[in-house]
Amino acid sequence: MSLIRLLFYFMSFIAIASALYAASTQNLVRSIFVFFVTLFALAGLYVLCLADFVAVTQVVIYVGGILVLILFAFMLSGKETLDVMQQQKGKFFSLGKLPAILLAALFFIVMINVVLKADADNLPWVKDSIANNNTITPNTATIDNIGVNLMTRYLLPFEAISVLLLMALVGAAHLSRKEPEA
Amino acid sequence: MITLTDFLIVSAALFCIGLYMIISKRNAIQILIGIELILNAAILNLVAFGKHDAVNNSGQIFALFAIVLAAATTAVALAIILNVYRKYKTIDPDKINNLKDQ
């Protein structure tokens, strides 16, 4: 077993275990902080896919931006949020959650079946790209290529997403302003 | 080497955990975390397949777009959650059952 495979198992174990913990814990604060760990482990998985730039972006935007925003909202929404959490404290496995567990488990079985049947490593275009040397290798510098592609081939989606981000931020600022006393 | 199928299985597991969180949680912030988990599962798939496209980098670039979209979603969703909290003093989605005019 090579080191990279060992690292893959390590990272995916951390990602899935921390996601499971975030899903099962009753404590909102723990859930948020464990989600940090999941995001870091996912960034590690992106590095194993040879997508270092996406991994760095994940750390900067998700961990630095989104999670801080979630923590902020949690702290602004005050004590009653925690009280809601405390009320449903009880057994780890409650009957009310059975449908959700059942649905998620069945979905998982279906998806695993699809993944195994699809046999992604033998897809025609993947084989073509391996045959034509179109696969990223560990010593390719991907960042320059990403920058050039972002400014040429993907310029239109890039501009569209910048306008959308602006709209979303203006909308968020508008939503969170104090409403005038009517 | 790590195969594509390994990444797909990890991402399917993350997707199902996110689905479970969205259905079972009684707290809007935890539902938001579930949505983020599902988005991350999708990004993992994009990145894993993007490895086989060294010229155009389509997978990685759309993963970047998805991350930006997640940021926009979270900003708007948190603004909505704060507004709902101000009005109802709770963020349990089951208890929010009125429109603006009651």
* Residue A85: per-residue pLDDT: 55
- Tell me: pLDDT of A55 over 90: yes
Dihedral angle of Cα B47, B49, B52, B53, to the nearest 10 degrees = -70
Question: pLDDT, tens digit, for every residue of A101-160?
Answer: 999 999 999 999 999 998 888 888 888 888 888 888 888 788 899 999 999 999 999 999
* Residue B99: per-residue pLDDT: 73
Question: Is A147 an 8 Å CB contact of chain B?
Answer: no
* Residue B64: per-residue pLDDT: 93
Residue that wins the pLDDT comparison between B101 and B6 = B6
* Residue A92: per-residue pLDDT: 54
- Tell me: pLDDT of A179 over 80: no
- Tell me: pLDDT of A90 over 80: no
Determine the average pLDDT of the residues in A42-60. Answer: 92
Interatomic CA distance for residues A145 and A148, integer angstroms: 5
* Percentage above 70 pLDDT, chain A: 87
Which single residue is written with the structure tokens 């033998």? Answer: A122
Closest-CA residue of chain A to B21: A23
Contact A135 B36 (CB under 8 A): no
Give the contacts of A12 (CB within 8 A, at least 6 positions apart). Answer: A41, A45, B6, B10
Complex ipTM, two decimals? 0.89
- Kindly list the structural domains of chain B, giving each domain's residue range(s) and its CATH number in brackets, ordered by start: 4-95 (1.10.287.3510)
- Tell me: pLDDT of B78 over 60: yes
The distance of A128 to chain B (nearest Cα, Å) reads: 9
Give the contacts of A120 (CB within 8 A, at least 6 positions apart). Answer: A126, B3, B4, B5, B8, B49
Residues of A in contact with B2 (CB under 8 A): 4-5, 8, 48
Question: Is B87 an 8 Å CB contact of chain A?
Answer: no
* Residue A73: per-residue pLDDT: 79
- Residue B52 has its nearest CB partner, among A66, A100, A134, at A134
Token pair listed for B29:
């912030």
- Tell me: pLDDT of B41 over 90: yes
Contact A168 B72 (CB under 8 A): yes
- Residue A23 has its nearest CB partner, among B17, B65, B79, at B17
- Residue A134 has its nearest CB partner, among B53, B65, B79, at B53
* Residue B3: per-residue pLDDT: 86
* Residue A126: per-residue pLDDT: 86
Output the CA torsion sign for A53, A55, A59, A62. Answer: positive
